[in-house]
Chain A
Amino acid sequence: MLILELYIFVLAGFVGFMVITRVPPLLHTPLMSATNAISGISLVGSLVAAGSHRSSVATILGFIAVVCATTNIVGGFLITDRMLKMFRRDDPKAKLPAEPK
Chain B
Amino acid sequence: MTEWEMVVGLEVHCELATATKLFCACPNAFGDEPNTNVCPVCLGLPGSLPVLNRHAVELAMRVGLALHCSVEPSIFHRKNYFYPDMPKDYQISQYDEPLNVGGRLDLPDGTRVGVTRAHLEEDTGKTTHVGGGGGRIHGADHSLVDYNRAGVPLVEIVSEPDIRSAEQAKAYVNELRAILVAIGASDARMEEGSLRIDANVSMRRAGAEVYGTRAEIKNLNSVRSLGRALEYEVRRQVGRLEAGEAVVQETRHWNEDEGRTSSMRSKEEAYDYRYFPEPDLVALAPSAEWLAGVRAVLPVLPSERRVDLARVAGVAETDAAVAAVVQQGLDGLVTAAVGAGADGRLALNRAANELAHATPPDAGAFAKVLRMEADGRLTATQAKGVLAELVSAGGDPEAIAAAKGFEALEGDVVAGAVDAAIAAHPGEWERYAGGEAKLAGFFVGKVMAATAGKADGKAVTALLRERLAGR
* A and B from one complex: no
